[in-house]
């Protein structure tokens, strides 16, 4: 079965490298979070419609987005090569402990872990249920710094609510 990169290149041969990089970046970073082809269409469909001009209608683009979604959800698929050369496994750490961290964050994340650690997962999510389910520690990246929240998600929620009150959002 073709990868989403192959589908993208074959269906949109006129795509320029900047747009190609943008779309593959969205699919690399959000691939594990998409639940159906419609979400892929919402994320990149408008850009693809702009690229295709009049050669493809909205239904064609939706079908292509569904095909790309299907390649993102293959059960036997290994890690995805991230733009910076890191390998990410969207299913998380599995099997034996790894000597290198598993990167699950967006390309913009510049987090680094101790080289001597057995491994770890960097989770970037706004889903409270997922965070509570999988995280033993909560670290926050903000304003160029990284800091640990000892009280977990509940303490972080209080910090955010206080910050929002100060800024007039609550």
Same domain, 66 and 92: no
- The predicted structure's pLDDT at residue 75: 53
Q: Which of 72, 105, 126 is the last residue of a domain?
A: 72
Predicted confidence pLDDT, tens digits, the chain (170 residues) = 678 889 999 999 888 888 888 888 888 877 777 888 898 898 888 889 888 877 899 999 999 999 998 888 765 444 444 444 434 443 333 333 333 444 444 343 444 444 444 455 677 777 778 877 777 778 777 777 778 888 888 888 888 889 889 988 87
The number of residues in the chain equals 170
Integer Cα distance of 1 and 24 in angstroms: 18
Per the CB < 8 A criterion, the answer to whether 139 and 120 are in contact is: no
- The predicted structure's pLDDT at residue 135: 76
Same domain, 94 and 128: yes
Same domain, 87 and 35: no
CA 75 to chain CA mean position, Å: 17
Domain total in the chain: 2
Same domain, 68 and 88: no
Same domain, 66 and 91: no
- The predicted structure's pLDDT at residue 74: 60
Same domain, 98 and 162: yes
Its domain, for residue 105, covers: 81-166
Tally of CB atoms within 10 A around 39 = 15
Helix H or strand E segment including 122: strand 121-122
Instruction: Please tell me the number of Cα atoms within 13 Å of 47 on its side-chain side.
Output: 19
Return the structure tokens found at 88: 């990410």
Same domain, 43 and 112: no
Task: Evaluate the CA torsion angle 107, 113, 116, 118 in order and state its sign.
Answer: negative
Tally of CB atoms within 10 A around 95 = 6
Q: Are strands 145-149 and 138-142 parallel, antiparallel or unpaired?
A: antiparallel
Same domain, 27 and 54: yes
User: In terms of DSSP H, where are the helices of 56-108?
Assistant: 58-72
**Contacts with 122 (C-beta within 8 Å, 6 or more apart), sequence order:** 101, 102, 103, 104, 105, 109, 111, 113
Integer Cα distance of 3 and 156 in angstroms: 39
Same domain, 135 and 91: yes
- The predicted structure's pLDDT at residue 62: 93
Same domain, 115 and 89: yes
């Amino acid at each position: 079965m073709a990868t989403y990169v192959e589908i993208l290149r074959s269906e949109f041969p006129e795509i320029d490298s900047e747009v190609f990089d943008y779309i593959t970046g969205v699919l690399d970073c959000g691939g594990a979070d998409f639940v159906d082809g419609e979400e892929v269409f919402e994320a990149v469909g408008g850009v693809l419609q702009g690229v295709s001009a009049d050669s493809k209608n909205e239904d064609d683009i939706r079908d292509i987005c569904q095909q790309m979604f299907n390649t993102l959800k293959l059960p036997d698929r290994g890690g995805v090569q991230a733009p910076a050369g890191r390998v990410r496994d969207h299913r998380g750490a599995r099997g034996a402990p790894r000597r290198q961290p598993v990167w699950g964050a967006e390309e913009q994340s510049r987090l680094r872990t101790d080289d001597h650690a057995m491994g770890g997962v960097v989770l970037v999510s706004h889903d409270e249920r997922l965070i509570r389910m999988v995280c033993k520690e909560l670290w926050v990246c903000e304003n160029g710094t990284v800091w640990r929240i000892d009280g977990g998600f509940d303490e972080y929620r209080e910090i955010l609510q206080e910050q929002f009150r100060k800024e007039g959002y609550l």
